[in-house]
């Protein structure tokens, strides 16, 4: 048999395996489209391998280990989503939750990163339990839309403040709390340049805009002599410092309830919104029945990934809205998610590059992501004060108290009180009453 015929037969065999696993033809796709879609998704979310280690290192965690944990956690989530749910969704440690982990739970509340990781693990277990039963659906449906949207926007504001603070664009001021930083310093200028590069490229639909912005400003810093070249490739750092390091017993403390709930709710609503959006773009919704193909499996894959992420040493692993870019490029099945996962594994060997990325470069990315997340506020009914005020309080109090958990607590309490006091009790679900009591108790007895 000729060599060319052998290659054709081998290709047919491979296509057969992939067809059986991912039902490519049924979804109107092919291997080429899935590869391109997977590469596109990875390029749009690869910034997390540089941003997450820097944020998590602020909690005292080993930066090299967190870098590997980020890649491994993302790879596990992507591969699980691809094989189990057959969805074209990339997963990685969640933005916002990593900042909450380091700057609120560890820096402000004083818990060790091991205890904080234990809280992530417990929230992940609860997430899995809710995904296998209808509790998750009940909670999502019983919490008003205005608060769901405001939570996303609040996390965005929280990220934005961290980015501005890290870059030195916003600094503390004893008289006014905050004021404008010194733009004669390179960090502030380069962070602003990073944001502008990313914003312009994103608006022009340039492939991998966030990644390009981060790397461009790093190169500028190198040219100015304030970034030291360390190479690009090397053997990956050890994962040992963070692997299975969570302190679950320490997290089983009544004072950690609001922290666990914050991890759980933000992850839950962020995931729900992302999966719904991707399902619509990937044509996974049956036009006749309105049912979403494989949604239950996708929710389970996402929740299990959060537990896996905690085990290796990173914040909740969640579905990324950047997956929509891959879908636009042709991804329709889980094969693209597998591609994303394999690329995250390959990225483990880029640790010198990750260590070389300066904080001001990732700050620019944080500021950009913040503005993207804040756009969710447009969906809130501002004409009804009992909806608008709690939403605004939720979003504003996250950065102003430097705590996602406090923002959620104050927003939920305000919503329930305003609705009951104005006679709109039908808008308040049983779960909202329960959560309000929990949050009031937390603020009164635990501060």
Q: List, as one string, the DSSP characters of 285-314.
A: B-TTT-PBTTHHHHHHHHHHHHHHHHHHT-
- Whether the CB-CB separation of 198 and 44 falls below 8 Å is answered with no
Gap between the Cα atoms of 63 and 337, Å rounded? 26
**Can you give the pLDDT at residue 1?**
47
**Can you give the pLDDT at residue 7?**
52
Residue listed under structure tokens 């099945």: 333
Gap between the Cα atoms of 117 and 132, Å rounded? 23
Identify how many contiguous H helices and E strands the chain contains and give both numbers.
Answer: 20, 4
CA triplet 197, 203, 209: central angle to 5 degrees? 50
Is residue 163 exposed (0-12), middle (13-18) or buried (19+ Cβ within 10 Å)? buried
**Can you give the pLDDT at residue 326?**
87
Nearest in space to 394 (alpha carbons), one of 121, 68, 146: 146
**Can you give the pLDDT at residue 345?**
96
Nearest in space to 158 (alpha carbons), one of 415, 405, 413, 361: 405
110: Cα separation from own chain's centroid: 23
Residue 2: CA count within 13 A, CB half-sphere: 3
Is residue 444 exposed (0-12), middle (13-18) or buried (19+ Cβ within 10 Å)? exposed
Question: pTM, whole model, 2 decimals?
Answer: 0.81
Gap between the Cα atoms of 152 and 157, Å rounded? 9
pLDDT < 50 stretches in the chain = 1, 8-9
According to DSSP, residue 204 is labeled T
Region for 329 from its dihedrals, namely left if φ exceeds 0, alpha if ψ lies in -120 to 50, beta otherwise: alpha
Nearest in space to 74 (alpha carbons), one of 54, 57, 52: 52
According to DSSP, residue 231 is labeled -
List 170's β-bridge partners, or say none: 180
Containing 177, the helix (H) or strand (E) segment is: strand 177-180
Contacts of 1 (CB under 8 A, 6+ apart): none
Cα–Cα distances (Å) from 199 to 154, 194, 258, in that order, read 20, 9, 34
**Can you give the pLDDT at residue 4?**
54
**Can you give the pLDDT at residue 423?**
95
Sign of torsion, CA 169 172 178 183?
A: negative
């Amino acid at each position: 048999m000729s060599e060319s015929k052998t290659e054709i037969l081998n290709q047919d065999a491979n296509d057969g395996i992939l067809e059986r696993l991912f039902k490519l033809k049924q979804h109107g796709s092919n291997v080429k489209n899935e590869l391109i879609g997977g590469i596109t998704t990875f390029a749009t979310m690869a910034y997390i391998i540089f941003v997450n280690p820097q944020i998590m290192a602020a909690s005292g965690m080993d930066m090299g280990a967190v870098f590997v944990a980020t890649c491994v956690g993302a790879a596990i989530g992507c591969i699980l989503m691809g094989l189990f749910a057959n969805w074209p969704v990339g997963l990685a440690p969640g933005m916002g939750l990593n900042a909450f982990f380091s700057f609120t739970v560890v820096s402000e509340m004083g818990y060790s990163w091991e205890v904080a990781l234990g809280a992530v693990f417990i929230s992940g277990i609860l997430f899995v339990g809710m995904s296998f039963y209808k509790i998750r659906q009940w909670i999502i449906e019983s919490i008003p839309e205005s608060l769901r949207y405001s939570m996303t926007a609040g996390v965005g504001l929280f990220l934005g403040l961290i980015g501005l603070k890290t870059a030195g664009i916003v600094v503390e001021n004893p008289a006014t709390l905050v004021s404008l930083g010194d733009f004669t310093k390179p960090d502030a200028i380069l962070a602003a340049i990073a944001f502008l590069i990313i914003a312009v490229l994103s608006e022009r639909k340039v492939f991998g805009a966030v990644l390009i912005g981060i790397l461009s400003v790093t190169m500028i810093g190198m040219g100015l002599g304030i970034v030291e070249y360390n190479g690009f490739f090397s053997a990956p750092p050890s994962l040992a410092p963070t692997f299975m390091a969570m302190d679950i017993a320490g997290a089983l403390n009544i004072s950690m309830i609001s922290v666990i709930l914050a991890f759980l709710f933000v992850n839950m609503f962020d995931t729900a919104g992302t999966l719904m959006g991707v399902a619509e773009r990937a044509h996974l919704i049956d036009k006749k029945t309105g049912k979403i193909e494989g949604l239950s499996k996708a929710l389970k894959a996402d929740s299990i990934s959060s537990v896996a992420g905690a085990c290796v040493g990173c914040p909740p692993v969640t579905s990324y809205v950047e997956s929509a870019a891959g879908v636009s490029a042709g991804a329709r099945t889980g094969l693209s998610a597998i591609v994303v996962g394999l690329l995250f594994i390959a990225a483990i060997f880029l640790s010198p590059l990750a260590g070389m990325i300066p904080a001001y470069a990732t700050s620019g990315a944080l500021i950009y992501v913040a503005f993207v997340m804040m756009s969710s506020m447009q969906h809130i009914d501002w004409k009804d004060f009992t909806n608008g005020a709690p939403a605004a309080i939720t979003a504003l109090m996250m950065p102003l108290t430097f705590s996602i958990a406090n923002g959620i607590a104050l927003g939920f309490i305000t919503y329930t009180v305003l609705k009951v006091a104005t006679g709109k009790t039908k808008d308040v679900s049983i779960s909202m009453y329960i959560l309000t009591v929990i949050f009031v108790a937390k603020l009164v007895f635990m501060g």
